[in-house]
């Protein structure tokens, strides 16, 4: 095995970091969006007439929750393709 230079180390850690970034970044949005979907189901079971409003609110809440997942995706893609 050839010696690992500083530049190799930086690139290797950027790829490892991309994986860690997307992996851990997906935990929060996944659980949070699940909470929103669960409570929406609970609300619809109580009052099915409000299903349209509840579904709309659920999707808006999930979209906001999703944003941190998309930040992680963007950072991971930057780390993979920035080509340092």
Query: Which residue in 27, 53, 64, 78 binds other proteins (CB under 8 A)?
Result: 27
CB hemisphere CA count around 22 (13 angstroms): 13
Query: Which residue in 38, 53, 67, 78 binds other proteins (CB under 8 A)?
Result: 38
Helix ranges, the chain (H): 6-25, 27-46, 51-81
28 binds other proteins, rule: CB under 8 A: yes
8 Å CB contact between 79 and 18: yes
Which residues lie near other proteins (CB under 8 A)?
1-2, 4, 8-9, 11-13, 15-20, 22-42, 44-46, 48, 51, 54-55, 58-59, 62-63, 66, 69-70, 72-73, 76-77, 80
């Amino acid at each position: 095995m050839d010696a690992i230079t500083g530049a190799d180390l930086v690139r290797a850690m950027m790829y490892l970091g991309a994986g860690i970034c997307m992996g851990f970044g997906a935990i929060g949005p996944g659980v949070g969006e699940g909470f929103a979907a669960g409570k929406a189901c609970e609300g619809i079971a109580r009052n099915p007439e409000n299903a349209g409003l509840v579904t709309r609110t659920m999707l808006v809440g999930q979209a906001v929750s999703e944003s941190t997942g998309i930040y992680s995706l963007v950072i991971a893609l930057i780390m993979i393709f920035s080509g340092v």
